[in-house]
Amino acid sequence: MNGVYINSYSAVSNLGDDISSMFFHALDERSNFLTLDDTVIRGEPFYFGEIKTSLPKIDDEKYNTRCNSILLHCFEKIENEINTALTKYDKSRVGVVIASTNSGVDEYALRGDVDLAQIGNPAAFLRKYLGLTGFFCGISSACTSGIKAFSTARRLLSHDVCDAVIVGGVDSVSRTPVYGFHSLEILSGEQTIPFSKNRNGINIGEGGALFLLEKEKTSANSIKLCGIGETSDAYHCATPDPEGIQSSRAIELALEDSGLDRGDIDYINLHGTGTVTNDLMEANAVYRVFGDKVPASSTKSQTGHCLGASAALESALCCAILDKSINKEHYLLPHRYDNVYDDKLPVISLVKYGQRADNIKYVMNNAFGFGGSNAVMILGGE
């Protein structure tokens, strides 16, 4: 097996209804797509990354959730490419792996059908919608879910369980996790500013991303899944180890898995939540491996934290950086904040608006979640 390739991908979020518009809106310093909303927690205004585009309707009540509407929107953007793959492979040999944390928990609360709240509901929906008969599963490991979905998909391909895997992540703004973050006192009433001295919490977002993974590249713009690193902390269920020991180990494992050196990485998409503890952990982890040598940014200050979809959504943005059909001028995704770096953190190189690279060949995506779950993925535009 020569490798695993992303041969097609799509995404939707508050930044736009397709990956190209999302990418260019992220580059624009004048753009602001976060919404101040006092209806999620009644009477208390918080910023959210809410999708404004019209989403497709689903008739089957077993799958009629906002998450699945987001997922179907992503599918429709790459429907032709997926249908082409389905003509090549038996329907029992195409897998579906979808990351989520919310699934249909709000719809379950309203309608009482427990199937709506199953973590595997989005994967089951897409499998049924496409008439597939092979492997499918949901992945839920907090904020690392999107990269864990890629890890599962890669194993399905490498062990010859599947010839292709449709992999992605999806989450909607749901009251249940929002209430949870509010109770932890890390939900911000201001726009999140990761790594700032003045940071004070997270904004919640929603979004989805979908990828077609195959064993061979099918176009000049195919993107290689170069490596994945996964570790677990045994520190605290909701607070990361401030030293970032296992987080940096996940970075090192991703480099080892890819056969790359730290100097090969051209950009890092940071987990960058904007909480005091998470940013401290990640700054320590990144600095331990890279120092201040690699341009890095968090896109959560633009999309909000999309929970189980966050790492998948950010992987799509990483793909856009590598995709020559989108990013012809080698732009890096900027880091939006107030430009007051926290001097208590080790210095990492945050990307400025308009910053470009001479060439972009390899990018890294970090994801660190509750329960000490750490996952890092490297993608390459070979």
Domain positions in the chain: 5-214, 223-380
In the chain, pLDDT over 90 holds for what percent of residues?
A: 93
Please state the rounded mean pLDDT for residues 181-197.
94
Residue type, 261: D
| Res 110: pLDDT | 94
Averaged over 144-172, what is the pLDDT?
98
Write down how long the chain is.
Answer: 382
Give helix 79-88 / helix 66-77 axis angle, nearest 10°. Answer: 80
Query: Is a pLDDT exceeding 80 seen at residue 85?
Result: yes
Catalytic residue among 271, 306, 318, 319: 271
Dihedral sign from CA coordinates of 169, 207, 108, 72: negative
236: annotated active-site residue: no
For range 182-191, the mean pLDDT: 92
For residue 253, give the DSSP letter: H
Above 70 in pLDDT, residue 47? Answer: yes
For residue 382, pLDDT over 70 is answered with: no
- The predicted model gives 167-189 an average pLDDT of 93
* pLDDT score for 146: 98
Burial class (CB in 10 A: 0-12, 13-18, 19+), 325: exposed
Question: Which tens digit of pLDDT belongs to each residue from 318-355?
Answer: 999 999 999 999 999 999 999 999 999 999 999 999 99
Active-site residue identified among 25, 305, 319, 335: 305
- Taking the C-alpha atoms of residue 60 and residue 343, their distance in angstroms, rounded to an integer, is 53
Phi, psi for 204 (deg, rounded to 5)? -90, 140
Mean pLDDT along residues 7-21? 98
What's the Cα-to-Cα distance from 59 to each of 45, 62, 63, 103, 125, rounded to whole Å? Answer: 33, 9, 8, 17, 12
Quick check: 300 and 310 in contact, CB under 8 A? yes
Rounded-to-integer distance, Cα 342 and Cα 46, Å: 23
Checking if the pLDDT of 75 tops 90, the result is yes
**pLDDT of the residue at 234:** 86
Tell me the H-state helices in the chain: 19-27, 66-77, 79-88, 105-111, 121-130, 145-158, 175-183, 245-258, 276-290, 300-303, 310-322
Taking every pair of Cα atoms in the chain, the longest distance, rounded to a whole number of angstroms, is 56
Cβ contact 346:283 at 8 Å:
yes
Residue 32's nearest CA partner among 45, 50, 20 is 50
Average pLDDT taken over every residue of the chain: 96
Q: Thinking of the domain 5-214, which architecture would CATH place it in?
A: 3-Layer(aba) Sandwich (3.40)
- Active-site residue flag, 271: yes
Catalytic residue among 67, 137, 143, 226: 143
> What's the rounded mean pLDDT across residues 239-256?
96
Beta strand 362-369 with 373-380 is antiparallel
- Topology of the domain covering 223-380: Peroxisomal Thiolase; Chain A, domain 1 (3.40.47)
1, pLDDT greater than 80: no
Q: Identify whether 25 is a catalytic site residue.
A: no
Task: Tell me which of 2 and 194 has the higher pLDDT.
Answer: 194
Specify the pTM: 0.97
What's the confidence (pLDDT) of residue 381? 83
Say which DSSP state 137 is in.
Answer: E
Closest CA to 193 of 95, 74, 275, 137: 275
Q: Which two tokens stand for residue 238?
A: 């909701």
CA distance 262 to 361: 13
- What integer pLDDT is reported at residue 2 of this predicted model? 60
Task: Tell me the average pLDDT across 44-60.
Answer: 96
% of the chain residues with pLDDT over 70: 99
Enter the tokens of residue 55: 């989403």
Number of Cβ within 10 Å of residue 335's Cβ equals 27
5-214 and 223-380 share one fold: yes
Asked if 77 and 96 count as a contact pair (C-beta separation under 8 A), the reply is no
User: Order of strands across the sheet with 295-297?
Assistant: 136-139, 94-99, 164-171, 207-214, 5-13, 223-232, 373-380, 362-369, 267-269, 295-297, 349-350
DSSP symbol at 354 = T
Query: How many whole angstroms from its chain centre is CA 70?
Result: 14
**210-227 mean pLDDT:** 96
